[in-house]
Amino acid sequence: MKVKRICATCGKEFFVKPSTIKNGGGKYCSDDCRHVGRRSKVKRVCPVCGEDFFVHLSGIKRGQGKYCSRECMGKATTGKNNPSWNGGKIKRICKTCGEEFYINKYKLKTGEGVYCSRECMAEGYKGEKSPVWKGGLSKRICQICGKEFLIITAKIKNGFGKYCSNECFARDHSGEKSSSWKGGKAKCICKECGKEFEVIKCRTERGNVKYCSKECFGRAHTGEKSSIWKGGISFFPYCPKFNERRKKAVRDFFNNMCLACGKMSSENIVRKKGVINLPVHHADHDKEQGCNGKPFNLVPLCNDCHYDELHNEEEYRQYINKTLREGFKWGIWNEEEYIKQVMYPDN
């Protein structure tokens, strides 16, 4: 059974079910009246400035429409009118300078309000007034030079206060007095020049003291005395066909990549020189190949692998030849092009 209602917009009578009224409906006779009613504004009076203003009914339901502007709302909710008001500021007397100052009342709970400024607080915590005061400075006598000096009393408990300076500490901990003392220096005979020289005794225990200087070490490891001596082949000239154009062709064939470790040319960094081109290596160490009837056997190596190859010649030779065979087998490189461009190049 429907109930008679009066439209809140047009005043017309209409009927609606009681269940609709329970759900908050039954206020408007039609959708048009409902839209008009919700858009309508109500006249209000600002309690702060007394001016009239209009506000939507929906805004009044949400608790709005009390003030005409944010400025009036701010004036109405400051000071004691603020719901979070805690009593405002109170007068205090500075413990250091005795001057009056004001502070928010709630800050007293955190222990503030004793000093008027940071300067007065610092003055109030100086010396014996400080909660971490441990007796100030104490006079001490240096164990080395006998000079009188001052030190913080708390540091004496930690073993300080024996020396007046780092120089006196070093004098008392040098030589045999040092905790790391290992017998001082020992005399040795240079194996190259026969000169007598001194060296720290602990180094002689490791057995690596043979030369008095880098110059003597260098002379003892040059020429036939070197562990990588190969009969002086480094002084032999290269075949004239092994030129920059030939080196570039080898690098391009292998895509500017080290055959041993895969490092790219852009990653070949040398100290004090930066990025340099990959060195082109003779895999069989024959510098005359190309001119003596033998084909070129050239591959690019990075600077690190090229240096390491001097000490592991046979190992690198086997690895390079194996890598080339497998590369040709699996189609990584074209063997016919390698023969044409690298092994038997045009003059």
pLDDT in tens, 21-46: 888 788 888 877 776 666 666 778 89
Please tell me the distance from the alpha carbon of residue 46 to that of residue 57, in angstroms, as a whole number.
16
Q: Please state which of the ranges 20-34, 122-136, 265-279 shows the lowest mean pLDDT.
A: 122-136
Residue-level pLDDT at 33 = 75
Please tell me the distance from the alpha carbon of residue 280 to that of residue 292, in angstroms, as a whole number.
19
C-alpha torsion 216→220→221→227, nearest 10: -150
Residue 117 is given by DSSP the state: S
Please tell me the distance from the alpha carbon of residue 135 to that of residue 132, in angstroms, as a whole number.
9
Residue-level pLDDT at 300 = 93
Length of the chain, in residues: 347
Percent of all residues in the chain with a pLDDT value above 90, rounded to a whole number: 15
Mean pLDDT, the chain, rounded, equals 83
Residue-level pLDDT at 229 = 59
Residue-level pLDDT at 216 = 87
Q: Are 21 and 3 in contact (CB under 8 A)?
A: yes
* Phi and psi at residue 3, to the nearest 5°: -115, 145
Residue-level pLDDT at 99 = 92
Assess whether pLDDT exceeds 70 at residue 94. yes
Assess whether pLDDT exceeds 80 at residue 58. no
Residue-level pLDDT at 279 = 93
Assess whether pLDDT exceeds 60 at residue 347. no
pLDDT per position as a tens digit, 232-264:
555 578 888 888 888 998 999 999 999 999 999
Spell out the domain ranges in the chain.
3-75, 89-120, 185-221, 233-343
Q: Please state which of the ranges 105-109, 169-173, 205-209 shows the lowest mean pLDDT.
A: 205-209
Residue-level pLDDT at 346 = 60
Q: Name the residue type at position 304.
A: D
Smallest Cα–Cα separation from 287: which of 279, 298, 303?
A: 298
33 or 163, which is more confident?
163
Residue 153 banded pLDDT, cuts 50, 70, 90: confident
Residue-level pLDDT at 77 = 83
pTM of the full structure: 0.40
319 or 33, which is more confident?
319
49 or 80, which is more confident?
49
Q: Please state which of the ranges 56-65, 93-102, 302-311, 316-325 shows the lowest mean pLDDT.
A: 56-65
Assess whether pLDDT exceeds 90 at residue 299. yes
Please tell me the distance from the alpha carbon of residue 99 to that of residue 93, in angstroms, as a whole number.
6
- Helix, strand, coil percentages (3-state) for the chain, rounded to 5, are 35, 15, 50
